[in-house]
Amino acid sequence: MDEKLRVIMLGSGQRPDVAAEAEQLRPVISKLARIVASDFTGSVDMSKVEADVAIVLGGDGSILRAAHQMGQQQLPVIAVNLGKLGFLADLSPGEVSDVLGDFGRGNLTVVEHLMFDTRVMRGGEVCFEKLGLNEVAVQTGPPFAVMDVDLYVDSELVTTYSCDGLIVSTPVGSTAHSLSAGGPILRKDLSAFVVLPISPHTLTNRPVVDSATRVYELVVANPKRGTSVVVDGDVLCTLRPGDRVRVEQASVKFKLVAAGGHSYYRTLREKLGWGGRLNLNGES
């Protein structure tokens, strides 16, 4: 009986370096595992593929696409960085063989990370929904003007933000859009959400961190023509008056294989240039 690990390979084939690296890694991976599926378009449904681990090539954008492709069947991910910052994808191609071997022997930890479900409720019915990993944002859109967004937590009105948009971010997403908008950095394995207004009209509005066990609802009473719900960078829908954007933790978790020598604070220190200068090449 073939006891090799079953592997799927994913990445962005629009990048020539990803396609080239995938071809170089195939024989290396095949010595240790059986490649049962691969996709470099980012569009193939991988939720029904029976496998033990996914090897994802690219950057954090490739990781997001892979998480969406796997849907309700999240496999442990070995993330290979061919991008720039790479908060999630921080392994080099040269480490794949050792990491895959250690994973197959059960020597590595798989760390689970919060994912969320976004549902747009219209007339009491779900009209749009999507699984996400980084963040959901309600953004004003054209004609660009400040809008009012009501935030409810467990059905209780918290406040009304006057802003260009409102972000609800996971810890994984705290180093993405949320960070660029002035949000805090959360350790990736925490079970919490960050709620952060984009360009708030009043300086007293600050990011809020709350439990992932709560249900968050965003309501725009008077949306603009282009007011949209954006999940992990993709537009889910435009909003109509009365729509409620409901965000809550998903039943599945994103699973990342933790390799030795790649600690959380080391990644932050190197990727954010805490030691001095910003490091785009992942070099120590």
**Which residues are known to be catalytic?**
60
**Alpha-carbon distance 62 to 68, whole Å?**
10
**Alpha-carbon distance 28 to 54, whole Å?**
15
Bridge partner residues of 218 (DSSP): 151, 245
- Which of 115, 99, 136, 164 minimizes the C-alpha distance to 237? 136
**Alpha-carbon distance 59 to 92, whole Å?**
11
Phi, psi at 12, each rounded to 5°: -95, 105
Bridge partner residues of 91 (DSSP): 80
The SS3 of residue 5 is strand
**Alpha-carbon distance 152 to 162, whole Å?**
15
**Alpha-carbon distance 8 to 49, whole Å?**
8
Alpha carbon 50 to its chain centroid, in Å, reads 22
* Element spanning 73, H or E: none
Helix 96-104, helix 16-30: angle, nearest 10: 50
